[in-house]
A and B are shown apart, each in its own frame.
Chain A
Amino acid sequence: MDFQLTDEQRALQETARKYAREVIRPKAAYYDETAQFPLDLIEKGFELGLLNLAVPAEYGGLGLSHLDGVIATEELAWGCAGVATSMIANDLALLPILIGGTDEQKRRFVTPFTKELKFASFGLTEPGAGSDVAGMSTTLRREGDHYVLNGQKQFITNGEHASQYTVFATTDRSKRHKGITCVVIEGRPKGMTVGKHENKMGQRASNTVTLTFEDVRVPVENRIGEEGEGFRIAMETLDNSRPLTAIVATGIARAAMEHAIDYAKQRQQFGRPIAEFQGIQFMLADMGMQIQAARLLTYQSAWMLDQGQKNTLVSSYAKSFAADMAMKVTTDAVQVFGGYGYMKEYPVEKLMRDAKLIQIYEGTSQVQRIVIARELLR
């Protein structure tokens, strides 16, 4: 066992940290306030190689390990979780293709993303099917060499800016999860509409829209895996992406703790800095230990993927622990700031709003516990 980062890992962490500090941070409040898409920040991130971290070298990527991706993503989230979510959305959309696609499909649908800045979206959630993935009602009907896609996908990250969509739909609703099939939609085919950008509580820099499909024709060669394999591909994708969401939570919490420490040192009450009061110290100590625990759990869940091990249990530990931890740490950070923490002029209330989303997206904290219990009770 070795807890040392390699030289390359420290170097990429340093680059991501510098980018987060110098490029993301100065504009994080602006994009939170306006909920505009932070294209200028993402363009700079793309130039530095901070997008599409999951793409293997043979398909034009950098060939980073999952752990490398996690280390870099913590820094992005430290800068702004909304920006980080938009930056890792491509990975989420490309992973199903990398997991279930043929070599030819990977070259067609993944490699172009490494050549120029483009966005892809992952479409699983529906208005009526959130945690109950198998209850989805978007349908795929085969017609010769095409499928006809009908239905609606909800809360789709980067959907307004994407030029490619990885969509899950069912070829037979009665089969529940065994009917789910994954297809790639290129561009904006006839019958596809993109809804308005949702007005979110937090992570407002990330674009979130509804996609509607009315008789959208999808070539059969855009199907990833076989009919009915979509559920497995989606679950495996989430095994891969859970470490990333867990580390986004960790990055938010670290930012909150740093703000809380700085503030506690300079805020004077009763004639001394509040950092000298044990009540504040205990909150800071809890933040430090929980953040470290979440990070190590997340590192382990990514490392297991790199070792080719199944990480469903540990990545669910990491995701739910880190999400709940970030909620607690950011809430306490607001508490350390007192009345000022509740004001938008100070940075911590944003972090609290940003953290909340991690308990919800990519499997709620409750669904993670169901997954954990199922693994434990096997």
Chain B
Amino acid sequence: MKILVTAKRVEDPESKIKVKPDGTGIVQEGLKYKINPFDEIAVEEGLRLVAKHGGEVVVVSIGGKEVHEQLRHALAMGAHKAVWVNHTGPLDQMGVAGLLQKVVEKEKPDLVILGKQSIDDDQNQVGQYLAEWLGWGQATFASKAESFDSENEKNKVPALVVGADNKTVRVVREVDGGLATVECQLPAVVTTDLRLNQPRYASLPGIMKAKSKPIEELIPAGLGVDVTPKLTVTKMSAPPARKAGIKVPDVATLVEKLKTEAKVI
């Protein structure tokens, strides 16, 4: 089977993010970038399914030349080929979903796996738009519930299981208060939650092999997609600094303050 996965370039969650003084964005100098962690989980899941069922994993990223770093990372993990949608400038979730739709129509995968959201703007919309516009079934927040190392977890069936006839996929989803299992007909769109798997490392042999794997370049105009954003970010601001706590003399005062000031009881 053919699986399309995404690899968005995002700020390294370990770097310190600063908002520009004028609120138009974040300070990008000196920042490190990574593949969106949820997308990395998608790449891993794609590779595991292909290892079991055969086929190939195609990884796609949208952005300037710099996204090659993330594409190469996915290729080093084991993806077979990459598609680079060469676009710089603002792009909203509908623009991304529109571009991905065209890539999907071109590549014709059996399954699309994306991160449930990217950790930079946390929209959590692209997978849903994409499934809707393709007219495909969707299963969001594919997940597992326990620690990866527990015996229980090792013995459990994977959260993503493709049917024997390659026509369906059964997905365990993380929902409020538990797990839900859904079944979709293929082709389908699946988005990954944090606890689906632990992505493998890009090994050194993998990194060397990735050098010779193909990256196909596409441009939005060539795909016939108008990516003019319908959504504009008007202002960014840092969350307010945490205020110092206060000390109360006794429990009675604490209860009183929780009632009248914090209004939590």
A residues with CB within 8 A of B: 7-8, 10-12, 14-15, 18-19, 47-50, 53, 62-64, 72
20 A-B residue pairs with CB within 8 Å: A7-B72, A8-B207, A8-B211, A10-B69, A11-B69, A11-B72, A11-B210, A14-B73, A14-B202, A15-B203, A15-B204, A19-B201, A48-B201, A49-B203, A49-B204, A49-B205, A53-B204, A62-B204, A62-B208, A72-B204
Could you tell me the distance between the alpha carbons of A63 and B211 in the complex, rounded to whole angstroms? 13
Could you tell me the distance between the alpha carbons of A8 and B209 in the complex, rounded to whole angstroms? 10
A-B contact count (CB 8 A): 41
Chain B, residue nearest A51 (CB): B204
Given A7-B68, A8-B211, A11-B76; A62-B201 close (CB under 8 Å):
no
On whether the beta carbons of B201 and A11 are closer than 8 Å, the reply is no
Could you tell me the distance between the alpha carbons of A10 and B202 in the complex, rounded to whole angstroms? 12
Could you tell me the distance between the alpha carbons of A15 and B206 in the complex, rounded to whole angstroms? 11
Q: Which of B197-231 contact A (CB under 8 A)?
A: 201-208, 210-211
Could you tell me the distance between the alpha carbons of A7 and B68 in the complex, rounded to whole angstroms? 9
Q: Which of B64-91 contact A (CB under 8 A)?
A: 68-69, 72-73, 76
* Chain B residues closer than 8 Å to A19, beta-carbon distance: 201
B residues with CB within 8 A of A: 68-69, 72-73, 76, 201-208, 210-211
Interface of B is mostly: helix
Could you tell me the distance between the alpha carbons of A187 and B68 in the complex, rounded to whole angstroms? 46
Could you tell me the distance between the alpha carbons of A48 and B202 in the complex, rounded to whole angstroms? 8
* Chain A residues closer than 8 Å to B202, beta-carbon distance: 11, 14-15
* Chain A residues closer than 8 Å to B73, beta-carbon distance: 11, 14
Could you tell me the distance between the alpha carbons of A8 and B211 in the complex, rounded to whole angstroms? 8
* Chain B residues closer than 8 Å to A53, beta-carbon distance: 204
A27 to chain B, nearest CB (A): 15
B61 to chain A, nearest CB (A): 14
Chain B, residue nearest A44 (CB): B201
Given A15-B203, A48-B201, A49-B203; A8-B208 close (CB under 8 Å):
yes
Could you tell me the distance between the alpha carbons of A62 and B72 in the complex, rounded to whole angstroms? 17
Could you tell me the distance between the alpha carbons of A49 and B202 in the complex, rounded to whole angstroms? 10
On whether the beta carbons of A12 and B201 are closer than 8 Å, the reply is no
